[in-house]
Homo-oligomer: A and B are copies of this chain.
């Protein structure tokens, strides 16, 4: 490496945008935080914990279809979900052991199951991250409108505003500030557990939730069938999304990382399980059904403590933590897309960092996808539930089966036991995925069934293109020697002025032959005094290079120039350089007043790749005289 190597530090500034986003960061400034298990709850588990805001509701909405009598089924179904949660927690503790470097479904399946499975994981995760953002924000706004029904008409704008703030924070690189999330997370956990305890103490629920009217069907619309129970179970599994996040984020923990991460996983599992169970008991005891304008969680809270300060405080906290849960996806998707880009499955620009050292393109894509989804469903959480969880559970299955292969290959101590645990996780989550697909297919799951393969095809096609083009350009191999040729510099001119002087001077600086071209648009009823005039001026100036006047009866100035260039190319002996003078006025709006031959000509020359197209910008001040 050269000792006198220039190191450049000051990047260009971007004014207003920089005010919002902050000044550019050095890579050494953007260090990763080191967190404890409790901080891990706020940084990595909000997605899972906040599922209580929509999981029980999703179950009740399905059960209510079969009438009030079916509502008691919430308890056994929740117990089944908690059993699945336990299996997942134990399985993911083993993922942490096996991949202390962060074991996302993409990385695990790439290492153990091959490229195909990793692409399935990649597609599922993109769908999953997008849905997590949209569902969390919609549920957060749902909590707010349950508490303040007058805000209901603003649902979609509020969703988009929250999304906008989260996007900006992440573009600034503040998305992963675990410590800032700690207080609302603890408030949420303590507040909700307290409400559940108060609710359990008052055996009959003194208070009644006010807004909305019951959506419970008065007569039995549907017999309580196995299919209904499976539907309710699969809807409720949306409460398990996010359980994998801790295993993906192991490198964020303080040493000993794996130990702390495993402790966080247990903590998460316990709290989530207790919350789900408590809500199910209360929901069953009070026969909570779906109501318009009020979420199930809000009803239970209102019944437990009344619509007083505690209710409003916890409702607001839920909105905040759900927004923060959406934020977690912004930590995940941009890293995933950068990995996919590095492996040539997505355009390389997903692997570029912004001035703030974040993967800005991934952040933008996630923001746009989830904004589109929120607008499409009108900010309604329940209508996204059928799409949700399929992507997540596909990821679960791939991770767990990847781990089975991993244990079988590496065979550490107790590998058989470990393989069985992960194998159980894989089988159970696969079963759950199949149940989702069957029960929710018509309700919207088909969207996911179409989207994930579409992503896989996209990944594969991009990969194939990169492979072909790398072969063609011989990247990494030593190419042949560069062969220089004499050059011919062609300068289109439309008058004789200081702009022409500027352009001819720079053309002469390039060396080689220089020729100026003037296109004369001829009309049958008009004499060509303009071209005669410019020829006379050129003779008077005699700058050195000759002026060639091209006559045409067509209206296009560019046509004759391209024709001239093509004839010069046909001779094949010289490197053609087209030097286009471009007036650069002080203000951008004055650009409209100058001609745009540069745009049209360079577009016309786009496919003539043997021609070098150069622009000479000539500044024009043209200031107004003061006074």
Binding site for B on A (CB under 8 A): 1-2, 5-12, 24-28, 347-349, 352-357, 462, 464-466, 468-469, 472-487, 495-502, 504-506, 508-512, 521-524, 531-533, 535, 537, 540-541, 543-544, 548-556, 558-560, 562-564, 567, 575, 577, 579, 583-585, 590, 592-596, 602, 604, 606-609, 611-624
Contact = CB atoms under 8 A, between A and B. Distances in A.
Nearest to A526: B27
Q: What are the nearest 10 A-B pairs in CB distance?
A: A511-B511, A11-B559, A614-B614, A8-B560, A484-B508, A482-B505, A509-B575, A26-B553, A479-B501, A468-B622
Nearest to A475: B497
A27 B554 CA distance: 6
B465 A2 contact: no
A531 B1 CA distance: 9
Given A28-B553, A464-B624, A476-B497, 6 more contacts: A8-B559, A9-B552, A347-B593, A469-B622, A472-B622, A486-B509
Contacts of A506: 575, 612
A587 to B, nearest CB: 10
Nearest to A552: B8
20 contacts: A6-B567, A8-B560, A8-B563, A8-B564, A9-B554, A11-B559, A12-B562, A27-B554, A356-B555, A465-B590, A472-B621, A473-B497, A473-B618, A475-B496, A479-B496, A479-B497, A481-B501, A510-B575, A608-B617, A613-B615
Given A2-B549, A27-B522, A593-B462, A469 B509 contact: no
Contacts of A26: 553-554
A596 B354 contact: no
Contacts of A469: 583, 585, 593, 620, 622
Contacts of A616: 609, 612
A500 to B, nearest CB: 7
B549 A1 contact: yes
A568 to B, nearest CB: 11
A623 B10 contact: no
A419 to B, nearest CB: 33
A620 B559 contact: no
A482 B544 contact: yes
Contact of A619 (B27, B468, B592, B609): B609
Contact of A553 (B9, B474, B478, B510): B9
A620 B579 contact: no
A18 to B, nearest CB: 12
A355 B558 contact: no
A145 to B, nearest CB: 34
A234 B522 CA distance: 47
B617 A468 contact: no
Given A352-B555, A499-B473, A554-B355, A612 B609 contact: no
Contact of A27 (B353, B473, B505, B553): B553
A611 B618 CA distance: 10
B355 A564 contact: no
B495 A510 contact: no
Contacts of A548: 2, 5-6
Contact of A1 (B505, B535, B555, B563): B535
Given A2-B549, A483-B505, A621-B472, A559 B12 contact: yes
Given A469-B620, A537-B478, A27 B462 contact: no
Nearest to A28: B524
A355 B533 CA distance: 25
Contacts of A476: 495-497, 533, 537
A612 B579 CA distance: 9
Among A26, A477, A479, A500, max chain B CB count under 10 A is at A479
B624 A606 contact: no
A228 B413 CA distance: 102
A619 B607 CA distance: 8
Contacts of A498: 472-474, 479
Contacts of A477: 496-497
A538 to B, nearest CB: 9
A496 B479 CA distance: 7
B595 A348 contact: yes
Contacts of A532: 1
Contacts of A523: 27-28
A609 B85 CA distance: 64
A14 to B, nearest CB: 10
A618 B479 CA distance: 14
A623 B471 CA distance: 11
Contact of A558 (B6, B12, B495, B504): B12
A344 to B, nearest CB: 9
B510 A511 contact: yes
Nearest to A24: B554
A555 B481 contact: no
Contacts of A487: 509-511
Nearest to A510: B510
A34 to B, nearest CB: 14
A502 B480 CA distance: 10
A489 to B, nearest CB: 9
A480 B505 CA distance: 10
Given A9-B552, A12-B556, A26-B554, A349 B511 contact: no
A613 B613 CA distance: 8
Nearest to A587: B465
A405 to B, nearest CB: 29
A353 B555 CA distance: 6
A521 B466 CA distance: 22
A584 B469 CA distance: 11
Nearest to A603: B12
A11 to B, nearest CB: 3
B543 A482 contact: yes
